[in-house]
A and B are shown apart, each in its own frame.
Chain A
Amino acid sequence: MVQALKYLSETASQTAGPYVHIGLSPGAAGFDIYRQELGHDICGPNAKGERIRVTGVIIDGTGAAIKDAMLEVWQANADGVYAHPGGGGPVEDGFRGWGRVITDFETGEWTFETVKPGKTAGSAGAPQAPHLNLWIVARGINVGLNTRMYFADEAEANTIDPVLNLIEWESRRATLIADRDVLGDLPTYRFDIRLQGGIETVFFDV
């Protein structure tokens, strides 16, 4: 007799649908219901490091910006530590490292402000270049899409980043690297995400 493997099966994903804002960003849907909506403050006032802005659009297979998506970010602090019991150490008071933004209903633009993360530990010793972990849901997306944003001004660290180097097509690595714009009140990284097409953004099975 063969022993049964008693594992449960993960609950299947379903699309977040067109009205994801009701549950996860109700203020944007047009009504205030909670004392505080979560995800607006990624790093808090005490975080060390360089304050930055990140902005972009999510583009569908026709070239149009999608206007009903939600994007979440998960990042380390400037020391490369995640705000989690296994995150590598203490973080600044008020630093959560997680944020949630929606795309503008008219333009499709999304934007958030945070601090630039530091290098984080890699699985097999080599450090990971500074990066933001992003998760995208929307109508038409059946399973949330995981991707990463790296920083163009971290070229040296990017070159040896173990995850970027997993991508065998070198030309595709560039889809994960955001250019820095020195104009404006904050250093701004532009990160456009292309769901489909010739220069499609790399998405990960994490």
Chain B
Amino acid sequence: MTKPGEFYPRNRDIHPVSLSPGYKSSVTRSPRLALVSLQSTISEQTGPVFGADDIDAGDNDLLTNYAAPGQSPIGERIILHGHVLDENARPVPNTLVEIWQANAGGRYRHKKDTYLAPIDPNFGGCGRTLTDENGYFFFRTVKPGAYPWRNHANNWRPAHIHVSIFGSGFAQRLITQCYFEGDPLIPLCPIVQTIPDQNAIEQLVARLDLNATIPLDSVAYKFDIILRGRRSTLFENRPEGN
């Protein structure tokens, strides 16, 4: 098997800065020293491989994966779908996409969430799927609600779905958050604003996708995920280069 190619260097200018005092938790949890840049090795160019045996077919349907038989969670029924591509616009097939979210009222099914909005007995709030050969994925869920959090006294998170993606190498490992088009809380959120680049923020906003709605059933949002690209291994093993 040929050696997998190196990834393009991560453009840190489009990622959040690690110390972002507006997001208070980052103050004590951000390194003070610079990251040590590493020419990637096989350790970063490879990553775990998942298959259909690892998950169940219904794991991507949050409308049913925790609901009692015949029941359904309360909230706006949505489809969240898109492609996982790399920076070369190549599909990333067979990769694991995991999501988690609050319910329609902004309450998480987590023992540490004490927000007064109630738990939905028919909603768990997590899902996972593998992309197909074209890098395509989809979930069915309810649109999450905004919720308050203890940062500044009156901070509210915009509606968001947390998304975790693997890619084909551990250097592509990414966790992000998907927001929804038109949400007025987006520009007010200190976590969103950790990202210095407005275009990078826009890229986190899922767009209403009327073409993918299911009439009389679910509205759809499209969220494409871009992972780092791999370069071709040009020349690097030629003796004159070493």
How many contacts between A and B, using CB within 8 angstroms? 275
A51 interface hit (Cβ, 8 Å): no
**Cα-based distance from A10 to B35 in the complex (angstroms):** 19
How would residues 142 to 156 of chain A score, 1 for a CB under 8 Å from any chain B CB and 0 otherwise?
A: 111110100000000
Check A123 against B16 for contact (C-beta < 8 Å): no
Partner of B12, one of A124, A201, A205: A205
Check A142 against B109 for contact (C-beta < 8 Å): no
Interface size on A, residues (CB 8 A): 83
Interface stretch among B46-54, B69-77, B207-215? B46-54
Check B87 against A133 for contact (C-beta < 8 Å): no
Interface members, chain B 166-188 (any A CB < 8 Å): 168-171, 173-177
**Interface SS majority for chain A:** loop
Check B173 against A87 for contact (C-beta < 8 Å): no
Q: Give the nearest-CB partner of A162 in chain B.
A: B41
Given the complex, which residues of A lie within 8 Å of B28, measured CB to CB? 60-62, 140, 195-196
Given the complex, which residues of A lie within 8 Å of B89, measured CB to CB? 6, 8
Partner of A135, one of B23, B41, B170: B170
**Cα-based distance from A29 to B3 in the complex (angstroms):** 39
- Interface-centre pick from B17, B18, B20, B227 (highest chain A CB count, 10 A): B18
Q: Give the nearest-CB partner of A66 in chain B.
A: B29
Interface members, chain B 188-242 (any A CB < 8 Å): 191-192, 194-195, 197, 199-201, 203-204, 225-229, 242
Given the known inter-chain contacts A121-B41, A124-B242, please indicate yes or no for A202 contacting B36, CB distance below 8 A: yes
Given the complex, which residues of B lie within 8 Å of A17, measured CB to CB? 162, 177
Partner of B39, one of A13, A22, A98, A123: A123
A163 interface hit (Cβ, 8 Å): yes
B154 interface hit (Cβ, 8 Å): no
Given the known inter-chain contacts A85-B49, A138-B29, A142-B18, please indicate yes or no for A26 contacting B40, CB distance below 8 A: no
**Cα-based distance from A88 to B43 in the complex (angstroms):** 11
Given the complex, which residues of B lie within 8 Å of A74, measured CB to CB? 43, 46-48, 170
A11 interface hit (Cβ, 8 Å): yes
Check B48 against A11 for contact (C-beta < 8 Å): no
Given the complex, which residues of A lie within 8 Å of B79, measured CB to CB? none
Check B43 against A11 for contact (C-beta < 8 Å): no
Check B126 against A26 for contact (C-beta < 8 Å): yes
A-B contact pairs, 19 of them (CB 8 A): A11-B203, A12-B197, A13-B15, A14-B16, A14-B176, A15-B25, A15-B194, A16-B175, A20-B100, A20-B175, A33-B66, A61-B28, A82-B42, A96-B49, A125-B242, A143-B18, A145-B31, A163-B41, A195-B30
